[in-house]
Chain A
Amino acid sequence: MHKGTSTKTWAFLMVSPFILCFILFWLAPMLLGVWVSLHNWNLSSGNNGFIGLQNYVDILTPGSLYNEAFMLALKNTLVFVVISVPPLVIIALGLALILDHLPAKLKPVFRTIYFVSYSISVTAVSAIFLWLFNENGGFINNLLVSMGILGKPINWLSEQPYAWVSVLIATVWWTIGFNMMLFINALDEVDPSLYEAADLDGANGFKKFIYITLPQIKHVAFFIIIMTVIASFNLYGQSRLITAGGPEQSTTTLTMSIQNTVFSMNQLGVGSSMAILMGIIMLLVTAAQYFMSYRKKEVN
């Protein structure tokens, strides 16, 4: 390999596909989104002129059509983030720990079993859970009523809090494999000598988990929490296909609301503004998580 300019050229060539894709599929659409959000842009009639921050004002003005839609969807989305992130992280960690203690021959088998659901499309996942949670004669209700656990069937999909429970269970089943794999990789990186030393000191399993495992995987855990928060903010397919945003719009999420504003109401400008606001909120939540984690480290 030549040095100097040639190396730089090679470096540029190697990195240019990434830069081009970054510009084409991230930077340009994002800038276009910001640009559109500053215009009265109708999907049917096109760009009707620059209006500055008016779309944002409309969304943030209480009582307006867009404000009600956005705030309701934001509230619903935050509910889902709060109820979904803990199980998606804790159960994934639990599964990873169980797999970590399995005999080497069994590990790949169970790793595949738990991960395979992640490869299924959201449409198929939703169809499965619709069948499972159907109120009238659905599998879960049939099972619980037959066993005498329930006196009468539960309206899993058309009554709260069951609708959220159904979406949550579907989401956990569908996506848990991804977080689990990340945790498994993190656990594999923990130095075995630390456990050996702890064994010599007579530490039990719980203490080893608290004082060795958790500190060793905390950076990966932090990354997983942030990624899970972002993924939960983007809830769309499950709530659209399993509960259709109901009952009474209580599972209508931000992404659904934005999609409706753009494609049903034709308000591309307002929809883009909603998307930008959603991005800012996600950024703030993520930054807060990062800040809290950073501050904790400083205190420690």
Chain B
Amino acid sequence: MKSFKWLVLLIASVLVLSACSGGDSASNKSKDGKIQISFINGFTGGDGAYMKKITDGFNASQDKYEIVESQEKEHYTKYKSGDYDLAVIHGNNLETYRLDGMIQDVGSLYEKAGLKESDFHNAGMDLAKLDGKLYGFPIDIHPLTMFYNKEFVNEAPKTYEDILKLNQELQAKNKDLYALGVPSTGLVEFYMLMIAAQNGVDLKDGNALNFAQPEFADALMTFHDMVWKDKVSPAGLGLDGEFKTFMKEAESGKAVQSAVALTGPWFYGAAKEKYGDNLGIAPIPQIGKQPAAYGNAHMLAVSASVKDEQVKEGIAEFVKYMFTPENLINWADGGQAPVHLKTIEKVTAEKDKYQIAYQNSLQFDSFVAPPQVYQYGEQIRDMNEKVFSKLVTTGNLTKEQLMKELESATKKAQQVAETQPK
């Protein structure tokens, strides 16, 4: 009898715990009767305020729907374990979320919102379309961006030769001044995919990433040579070293500084605050054989659990509101580059005001999207955390040694790909 009591207590405890999670997909209503749409994104940095302007603007314009926005650092985890209607998914994660059944085809919502594929730049639309169906509304593309310090360089370098020349000039002035900084970790995925794109290397092989390509090894060795042969970058720069070196000041040999940073546009605020009018922004230079830009993107995706037609109507209303130049321009104001064509027109018309959005929009035509494979982030993890670091920190690294690392990383990528739902 006693053990039965304990069993009841245990089951009750488990029930209490399970009651804390989960939910249904029925629409929620606010106190004033508006249909609530839960929206989660990871905009916890400076850009969050600009997205909030859009959602606040929508809510103020509505008497039927309300966007309840959550900006969370671990927004993917919360999205997976929570009950959200709308989420911002990165372009390189869209395929994973589709295959995991976490998002739904939004083709019908495009129609409801009065949007067409032709309203967006192809670069964004290519990312949103999987197997011929639309799985997201492309908000922006954030490609690798070039910042330069006008104190050291008048005109942005356009080629690798320009970078070499700049480096010679800077080194002649001060041995602690370099053309740019190559990080060992952080934004290295952008570096690797950029050099692959600029050398015409396609990493996608079926449903996995294949890094073990001699052409890719040759391309990657560019970064090794930047540090150890051409010495356009100081050695031993750690996490986000490309930006940290750009922001440091070379003072009496205690720190090194670079004139150029190939980095993420999200660093714009900090760089602008420090350099003001001395900050230059430009598309990335051509380091490989052909011009190409690489970056990631933000997509607005709808949860697979959304079945309620009223919620879908509300989402369509929000999307309709968001993708208008006067509202989406807030996103450009935050430093992001929207792919909505009419908003690009507005950005171009006021290119001095939306400097970074404009410069990045110039990269859209040569943009190469992330390969759409299942668990992209996991497939490239070894490259991000191990191989690139070895590449730029090992002075005597050979192409053969690099190929072995690439083979090992490819094997892991294939194993990750095998976890794809059947």
Chain A residues within CB distance 8 Å of chain B = 20, 23-24, 27-29, 32, 42-45, 64-65, 68, 134-137, 141-142, 145-146, 153, 155, 157-159, 244-249, 252, 263-267
Chain B residues near A68 (CB-CB < 8 A): 412
Majority secondary structure of chain B interface residues (helix, strand, loop or mixed): helix
Min Cβ gap A17→B in Å is 13
Chain A residues near B248 (CB-CB < 8 A): 136-137
**CB-CB nearest in chain A for B76:** A263
**CB-CB nearest in chain B for A155:** B236
The answer to whether A158 and B10 touch across the interface, beta carbons within 8 angstroms, is: no
Which interface class (under 10, 10 to 19, 20 to 34, 35 or more) fits B? 35 or more
Interface string of B384-410 (1 = CB under 8 A from A): 011001100100000000000000000
Interface string of B355-371 (1 = CB under 8 A from A): 00000000000000000
Majority secondary structure of chain A interface residues (helix, strand, loop or mixed): loop
The answer to whether B184 and A28 touch across the interface, beta carbons within 8 angstroms, is: no
- Residue B349 is within 8 A (CB to CB) of chain A in the complex: no
Chain A residues near B9 (CB-CB < 8 A): 20, 23
Partner of A158, one of B101, B393, B416: B393
Chain A residues near B60 (CB-CB < 8 A): none
Binds A, one of B46-54, B250-258, B265-273: B250-258
* Given A65-B416, A136-B244, A158-B239, CB of A24 within 8 Å of CB of B80: no
The answer to whether B386 and A265 touch across the interface, beta carbons within 8 angstroms, is: no
Min Cβ gap A144→B in Å is 10
The answer to whether B13 and A45 touch across the interface, beta carbons within 8 angstroms, is: no
Chain B residues near A135 (CB-CB < 8 A): 236-238, 241
Min Cβ gap B294→A in Å is 21
**CB-CB nearest in chain A for B244:** A136
A-B contacts, 25 of them at CB < 8 A, read A20-B13, A23-B9, A28-B17, A42-B100, A44-B102, A65-B412, A134-B244, A135-B237, A135-B238, A136-B234, A137-B256, A142-B254, A153-B236, A158-B185, A158-B238, A158-B239, A158-B389, A244-B185, A246-B385, A247-B238, A247-B393, A248-B385, A248-B390, A264-B377, A266-B80
* Given A155-B236, A246-B385, A249-B386, CB of A65 within 8 Å of CB of B415: yes
* Given A45-B421, A155-B238, A159-B393, CB of A23 within 8 Å of CB of B10: yes
Min Cβ gap B178→A in Å is 11
Partner of B241, one of A20, A136, A249: A136
The answer to whether B255 and A137 touch across the interface, beta carbons within 8 angstroms, is: yes
- Bound-complex Cα distance A222 to B253 (A): 48
- Bound-complex Cα distance A264 to B237 (A): 27
Chain A residues near B296 (CB-CB < 8 A): none
The answer to whether B377 and A266 touch across the interface, beta carbons within 8 angstroms, is: no
- Bound-complex Cα distance A44 to B416 (A): 16
Chain A residues near B378 (CB-CB < 8 A): 264-265
